[in-house]
Amino acid sequence: MPTHKRYETPADRQRASRQRQAQAREQEHQHKGFPTAPALATLPSQRRWQSLMEHAHAALMTTQTEMWSSVELVDSKFCGDRFAGTLSS
């Protein structure tokens, strides 16, 4: 007994596979809290580089914030109130 074809052509099957992969990547990025990526290929060169610089800056600022919160947590946990705030000055 022949099985029902899910996709009419191999191109349809490939298109559906790429859409599933893109959707899985998007869900993973949302779960990790990453900002959505711009459609860089459609932007002119100057705007594309500006967008890349803005995204890199946002990533660096997030990293810096997380690092300082980690330092403050360790400082308060191990040094107590006696040395609190010495790293920030």
Query: Residue 80's pLDDT is what?
Result: 63
Mean pLDDT for the stretch of residues 41-62: 84
CA distance 72 to 65: 11
Q: What is the pTM of this model?
A: 0.39
Smallest CA-to-CA distance from 71 within 62, 84, 61 is with 84
Q: Contact at 8 Å (CB) between 61 and 41?
A: no
Q: Is the pLDDT of residue 50 over 70?
A: yes
Indicate the pLDDT class of residue 62, thresholds 50, 70 and 90: very high
Indicate the pLDDT class of residue 48, thresholds 50, 70 and 90: confident
pLDDT digits (tens, 9 = 90+) for 16-44: 999 999 999 989 888 888 777 666 566 66
Q: Higher model confidence: residue 19 or residue 52?
A: 19
